[in-house]
Amino acid sequence: MSTDQPTGDGLEGIEIPDDLSSLTGSADPSLAVIVTQIAGAQPLAAACSIAEISADAVPTEVGAVAVLADTKGDAPQKAVSALSQLVRGVPFVLVVKSGEQLTAFRWQDGAVEEELAPGLVLGGAPEVLEDLLVGDGDLSEIDGVVASGSVSRWKAMRQLTAAARKARKK
């Protein structure tokens, strides 16, 4: 048996940061999507264009989903706030993916209303949304995706005005 005692704890040279949040990965989300009740990708892309939001609008059977291009800082919150102010009276759900963590918030009329359990949001979600959030989906392989940048603000205003006029006649 050896009587030699170790002189250190084996942690020499290891630096522990004061702020441990850097150990969990990037502070900015890897993906941010806005789930809407807007009937199609084209009207959602038009709304994004008017609100000056860079996003890809993805059609689903329950409403279009906006996949945001800018996920840095508070850009996702600003985007959903702008959309929910533009399309008043309609709830929007912002789902943000940071690492393996999902968070979801319901927004309406420019303000956050409540945090939602991501499992409940995904429980009735279209398959395309689930695929995007778990990393199995690729936007280039989804039919009907419309980039907000492909819709001029002038064309977007005409489309939304025509849709509003049509809705009032019903």
Q: What is the pLDDT along the chain (170 residues), one digit of tens a residue?
A: 555 555 666 667 666 655 555 555 556 888 999 999 998 999 999 999 999 999 999 999 989 999 999 999 999 999 999 999 998 889 999 999 998 899 999 999 999 999 999 988 888 888 899 888 887 778 888 999 999 999 888 888 888 788 777 767 76
> Does some domain include residue 15?
no
Per-residue DSSP letter, 45: H
Domains in the chain, number: 1
> Does some domain include residue 18?
no
> Does some domain include residue 39?
yes
Domain around 164:
27-134+142-169
Tokens representing 33? 């999507």
> Does some domain include residue 12?
no
At what angle are helices 41-50 and 75-86 packed, to 10 degrees?
Answer: 110
> Does some domain include residue 2?
no
Global confidence as pTM = 0.79
> Does some domain include residue 85?
yes
Which residues, including other chains, have CB under 8 Å from residue 113's CB and lie 6 or more apart? 91, 105, 106, 107
> Does some domain include residue 5?
no
3-state secondary structure of 78: helix
pLDDT 10s digits, 119-157 = 888 888 888 998 888 877 788 889 999 999 998 888 888
> Does some domain include residue 115?
yes
CB atoms within 10 A of CB 17: 8
b/e map 79-118, b = 16+ CB within 10 Å: bbbbbbeebeeeebbbbbbbeeebbbbbbbeeeeeeeeeb
